[in-house]
Structure 1
Amino acid sequence: MRMNEEPSWISDLNDEELEFVKCFILSSGSIKKLASIYSTSYPTIRKQLDKLIQKIRVGERKENDKIIRLIHQLEKEGKIDQEIAETVVTEYGKSLNCLITE
């Protein structure tokens, strides 16, 4: 990864999740401090953090997935068109998102 490139897992996070990560870092990783900031309980913050961890892991799995790399390679070689490649990758990505539990 180049210094000016944003890791893909960051672009997968919405604004609320990015703010949560920022507050987590600024609170030195203290879930107790974060619970105080959000005026909620420790278990609620722990659950939010666990969900973010899952989301990041799924994102990394998608990024390193052999099937997704194969689809991109087939597109690059001209064996399938871009629209088909994007559709397959998007639908496959949705199936991986099902791994994120509430």
Structure 2
Amino acid sequence: MDWFFNLEKEEQEFLKRFILASGSLKQLAKEYEVSYPTVRIRVDKIIEKIKLSDNNRDTFEINIMQMVIDEKISLDSAKEIIRKHKESIDG
């Protein structure tokens, strides 16, 4: 269950509220006072983070890809960072 602990506290709380709402995205949208598509986007981002954790990549790569999912950096930048990191490890 490492994937759960790789999520931010806010995302863990969101999942708790999702479960307590019996999986109803409409109910969550009401609780958070946002639109259904906004909740759907948030769920999709969490799904991507879980998939990323399940791929057994190294922690550095997971952290970089989570930054892409959170839209903190571009995918192209992430690929370049990961490539440079691998080069530095391989010598």
Q: Which residue of 1 aligns with 2:82?
A: none
Q: CA deviation at 1:14?
A: 1.2
How do residues 1-102 of structure 1 correspond to structure 2 at under 5 angstroms? 7-61=1-55, 63=56, 65=57, 89-97=58-66, 100=69, 102=71
Give unpaired runs (5+ residues) of structure 1.
1-6, 66-88
What do residues 16-65 of structure 1 show as CA deviations (whole Å, max 9, x unaligned)?
0011000000000000000000001000000000000000000111x2x5
- Higher RCO, 1 or 2 (CA under 8 Å, sep at least 6)? 1
CA 1:91–1:50 in 2, change beyond 3 Å: closer, same or farther? same
Percent same amino acid among aligned pairs? 42
Instruction: Choose between structure 1 and 2: higher helix proportion.
Output: 2
Give unpaired runs (5+ residues) of structure 2.
72-91
CA 1:60–1:99 in 2, change beyond 3 Å: closer, same or farther? farther
The residue type equivalent to 2:25 in the other structure is I
Measured on the aligned residues, the alpha-carbon RMSD in Å equals 1.9
